[in-house]
Amino acid sequence: MRRSVALAFAAMLACFIPEGRAADASGEIRLGTITDLSGPAAPYGHAVVNALRLRFDAVNAMGGIRGRRIRLIVEDHQFQVPRAVQAAAKLIKRDRVQAFVGALGTAQVQAVLPQLREAGIPNLFPMAASRALVQAPDSVTWISGSLYYDQIRAGVKWMVEQRGKRAVCALAQSTDYGEEVQQALRDQLAQHGQSLLAVATHRPTDTDFTASIARLRAANCDLVVLATLLRDTLLPMATARAAGWSVDFLGPSTTHDYLLAAAPGNATQGLYSVSSIALPDKTSAAPAVLAWIEAYTARFGTAPNAGAIYGATIADLAVLTFDRAGEQAREQAWEQAGANRDPVLFARAVHSISGWRDLFGGTLQDFSAGRRQGTRQAVVWQLNGPRYERLTEALGY
């Protein structure tokens, strides 16, 4: 069985790795990322980086992208904006990266955009999904999947129409991410003739949610919409359950993770999450997915979480983008075709991607016609035991 899974993994890689020549001395593709390796989002940060390394190392082992090896340079911002700005400056000026890939954190990524714009460096598929990243006229960002704004609007629309919710509240980080979720919530509720009933905000590092839950409970909420990560999803849900409050919770893709299924006392059971990715179930996954899970687990000593699924998807899109940029520039020198040397050509490469679906069966993605996000649709899931149960097809609003 182990040998057959390994063969399936090799076959899967062959499907995703473009035909190329053996690596030569013409240089390397330098990719940088800023992420959280030691702060509140570290479970995501480590997993994304692990998945990127797994994919890029496999590409390098098969000759690289058109003969050029990928070099990934990682900087830890500890989920702090000032450190993110410093780390980005180092990657741009000292390491001379050609693109950022999989950078993590809404506020952190938004803070480094001026540096990226000035240097003409693309921001590929970050682990941040705010509208500000893609809607600016001079945007240098492309996002894999849907935005938090889209996810919340689609999810709340479904909860109001299918679950009859009439008293909707929010528990949100006091960050740009939290503001984005609240805006989406207000906009969607307005479509149903409703308004946001109550809001409780917190810092990403907070651990005591007693007052927040008491406030929302006093407002008689029948749905609490989350703008949280892992720890600040688990803790308020546990606080609510301990107080005997069985209100429904719904969150965007940041709440769609295996790690929440293992919460003590089943505190997170019943959680609704809205996401464009599908978390694979080992009992029914395709052989190529099982092979990827085994390869990831064997290399890093831990099972992949949602961050790893995102990381693998991001890596596949990055490889495809650089291969197509190389194809379009085949009459030029590779240095002239580098992302930071020819942003128009690079953008053309991204926008050539359409009808693409990730290895794990996520929502279909299309970057054609100048789109800077892969999709505006997402699926509603509900945590049931050790896995998320799919409740809907891909939804819009």
Identify whether residues 267 and 249 lie together within a single domain.
yes
Does the structure show a pLDDT above 60 at 267?
yes
Same domain, 255 and 176: yes
Among 29-33, 39-43, 335-339, the minimum mean pLDDT is found in 335-339
Residue 152 and residue 108 share a domain? no
Tokens 């998320």, residue?
A: 388
Alpha carbons 153 and 156: distance in angstroms, whole number: 5
Q: What pLDDT does residue 344 have?
A: 76
Q: Is 105 a member of any domain? A: yes
pLDDT at residue 282 in the model: 86
Q: What is the phi/psi pair of residue 224, to 5°? A: -110, 120
Q: What is the CATH number of the domain that holds 195?
A: 3.40.50.2300
HSE-up of 35 (CA within 13 Å, CB side)?
25
pLDDT of residue 330: 57
Residue 343: its pLDDT value, please?
67
Per the domain annotation, does 75 fall within a domain?
yes
Are both 207 and 141 inside the same structural domain? no
Let me know if residue 372 belongs to a domain. no
Q: Which pLDDT band, with edges at 50, 70 and 90, does 115 fall under?
A: very high
| Dihedral angle, C-alpha 222, 234, 239, 382, nearest 10 ° | 30
- What's the pTM? 0.86
Residue 374 domain flag: no
Residue with tokens 């495809």: 320
Mean pLDDT of the chain: 90
On the question of pLDDT at 1 being above 80, the answer is: no
CA-CA-CA-CA torsion for 142, 146, 148, 154, nearest 10 degrees?
A: 160
Do 12 and 136 lie in a common domain?
A: yes
Does 373 reside within a domain?
no
As a whole number of angstroms, the distance between CA 170 and CA 358 comes to 31
- Within this chain, do residues 44 and 133 fall inside the same structural domain, yes or no? yes
- Let me know whether 26 and 95 are in one domain: yes
Please check whether residue 370 lies inside any domain of the structure.
no
Residues 192 and 318 in one domain: no
What is the residue range of 342's domain?
Answer: 2-146+282-365
pLDDT recorded at residue 331: 46
In this structure, which amino acid lies at residue 275? S
Are 236 and 297 part of one and the same domain? no
Q: What pLDDT, on a 0 to 100 scale, did the predictor assign at position 329? A: 62
Supply the pLDDT for residue 11: 40
Residue 13 has pLDDT above 50, yes or no: no
- How many structural domains does the chain have? 2
In a domain, 61, yes or no: yes
Q: Are residues 105 and 124 in the same domain?
A: yes
Percentage with pLDDT > 70 across the chain: 89
Over 80: is that where the pLDDT of 117 sits?
Answer: yes
Residues 6+ apart with CB under 8 A from 293: 280, 282, 285, 303, 304
**Domain shared by 241 and 385, yes or no:** yes
Same-domain check for residues 242 and 384: yes
171 part of a folded domain: yes
104 SS3 class: strand
